[in-house]
């Protein structure tokens, strides 16, 4: 690697330090995972002319162009301006000088399943919400991962993120339309949580067990079940991979509306700023919550948040996860 390269600046500019001396890789953000086909010509040009001809699809639905020379960064940044103007500035993100490329890379690309634009199971437009969240939290240097999934099937693996936003629907029941076929009850018992049961020939829904998946609506042949037009979300928090203590996210707020989702995520950056250990090169949000405790996190991120009617906040959150120990093995 050339001695005059400022690697800290390059990393903040969304370039990766690679194992090949003098070579870097550019990480391109695609909030919500939706990219117009018109941009593929530019990506092909960058990979073939400036890189090694490869474009890697990352686990966070971004793209990574490898084999780039550090000396080419200024020119590459100018070339990717159309991407920034469309995918970032176009949705309201403030980037003061797009000719200089990405202004930060700490907060990771917001990943999302394909959502209700395509999937019949999805309860909301995941791409649109991802773009709204992107507008509120990017650019930012704090290491935060957000993933959105349209329903509790969780195709995006939202439970492995700091914030997992799961789409929920409140099913509306028309007693007169129900013919007592039990299609919804049987499906809920075998595929979901068993929140539905039969009483005197009609269906009863247990609100405590309902996770808002909406499959009862899809299974009903007479439209006795319909969708509440209001959108609701299940906010999961502090899932993660990594070496120290990988774990799945746990429920924080159920039946939250979209404004609550966005404000809670925004407030999290205030929590990080107040409690992060500045003696470390970086500190993952999950470990900050572990150190301060859930009540401190909860109270800070709910400051100024007006919870919608029906939203339920977890009183306690207990994370498990994997902790490595050689004691669990019988022998070497």
Q: Are residues 191 and 280 in the same domain?
A: no
Are 152 and 245 found together in one domain?
yes
Asked if residue 106 is part of any domain, the answer here is no
Q: Within this chain, do residues 176 and 137 fall inside the same structural domain, yes or no?
A: no
pLDDT reported for residue 332: 56
Per-residue pLDDT at 329: 63
Indicate which CATH number applies to the domain containing 24: 3.90.480.20
Beta strands in 84-129 (DSSP E): 111-112
Residues 54, 178 within the same domain: no
Does 305 reside within a domain? yes
- Give the whole-angstrom CA distance, residue 169 versus residue 214: 6
CA-CA distance, 11 to 281, in Å (whole number)?
13
Structural domain includes residue 330: no
For residues 240 and 155, state if they share a domain.
Answer: yes
In whole angstroms, what is the distance from residue 284 CA to residue 292 CA?
A: 13
Q: What is the pLDDT of residue 281?
A: 86
From 227, 244, 268, the end of a domain falls on 227
Give, for all 332 residues of the chain, the pLDDT tens digit. 445 788 899 999 999 999 999 999 999 999 999 999 999 999 999 999 999 999 999 999 999 999 999 999 999 999 999 999 999 999 999 999 999 999 999 999 999 999 999 999 999 999 999 999 999 999 999 999 999 999 999 999 999 999 999 999 999 999 999 999 999 999 999 999 999 999 999 999 999 999 999 999 999 999 999 999 999 999 999 999 988 899 999 999 999 999 999 999 999 999 999 999 999 988 999 999 999 999 999 999 999 999 999 999 999 999 988 877 655 665 55
Assess whether 220 and 240 both reside in one domain.
no
pLDDT of residue 264: 98
User: Does residue 150 sit within a domain?
Assistant: yes
d(Cα 163, Cα 151) in Å, to the nearest integer?
A: 15
* Residues 69 and 185 occupy one common structural domain: no
Q: Exposed/middle/buried for 260, CB within 10 Å: 0-12, 13-18, 19+?
A: buried
Instruction: Give the contacts of 164 (CB within 8 A, at least 6 positions apart).
Output: 146, 147, 148, 149, 154, 158, 235, 236, 237, 239, 249
For residue 31, the tally of other CB atoms under 10 A from its CB is: 27
Asked if 98 and 84 touch (Cβ cutoff 8 Å), the reply is: yes
Whether 324 maps to a domain, the answer reads no
Same domain, yes or no: 85 and 197: no
Q: How many domains does the chain have?
A: 3
Walk across the sheet containing 55-57 and list its strands: 15-17, 23-28, 63-69, 55-57
| Domain region containing 46 | 7-100
> Hey, CA dihedral for 291, 297, 298, 300, is it positive or negative?
positive
CATH number at 187 reads 3.30.70.20
pLDDT at 1: 43
Looking at residue 326, what is its pLDDT? 59
Task: Return d(Cα 3, Cα 107) in angstroms, integer.
Answer: 28
2 falls within a domain: no
Angle at the Cα of 157 from the Cα atoms of 39 and 290, rounded to 5 degrees: 115
Rounded CA separation 254/232 (Å): 8
pLDDT at 331: 59
């Amino acid at each position: 690697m050339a001695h005059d390269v400022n690697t800290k600046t390059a990393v903040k500019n969304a370039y990766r330090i690679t194992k090949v001396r003098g070579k870097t890789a550019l990480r391109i953000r695609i909030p919500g995972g939706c990219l117009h086909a018109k941009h593929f010509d530019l990506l092909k040009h960058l990979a073939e002319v400036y890189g090694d001809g490869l474009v890697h699809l990352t686990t966070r639905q971004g793209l990574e162009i490898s084999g780039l020379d550090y000396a080419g960064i200024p020119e590459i940044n100018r070339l990717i301006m159309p991407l920034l103007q469309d995918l970032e500035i176009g949705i309201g993100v403030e980037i003061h000088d797009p000719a200089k490329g990405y202004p930060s890379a700490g907060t990771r690309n917001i990943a999302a399943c394909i959502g209700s634009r395509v999937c019949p199971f999805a309860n909301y437009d995941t791409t649109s919400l991802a773009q709204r969240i992107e507008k509120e939290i990017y650019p930012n240097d704090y290491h935060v991962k957000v993933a959105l999934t349209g329903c509790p099937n969780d195709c995006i693996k939202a439970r492995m993120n700091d914030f997992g936003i799961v789409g929920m629907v409140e099913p509306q029941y028309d007693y007169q339309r129900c013919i007592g076929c039990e299609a919804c009850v049987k499906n809920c018992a075998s595929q979901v949580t068993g929140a539905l049961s039969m009483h005197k020939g009609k269906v009863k829904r247990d609100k405590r067990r309902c996770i808002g998946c909406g499959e009862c609506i899809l299974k009903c042949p007479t439209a006795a079940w319909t969708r509440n037009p209001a959108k609701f979300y299940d906010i999961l928090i502090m899932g993660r991979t990594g070496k120290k203590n990988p774990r799945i996210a746990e429920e924080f707020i159920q039946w939250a509306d979209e404004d609550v989702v966005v404000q809670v995520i925004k407030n999290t950056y205030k929590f990080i700023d107040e409690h992060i250990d500045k003696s470390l090169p970086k500190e993952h949000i999950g470990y900050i919550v572990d150190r301060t405790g859930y009540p401190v996190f909860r109270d800070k991120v709910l400051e100024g948040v007006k919870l919608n009617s029906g939203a339920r906040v977890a009183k306690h959150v207990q994370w498990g996860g994997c902790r490595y120990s050689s004691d669990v093995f019988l022998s070497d």
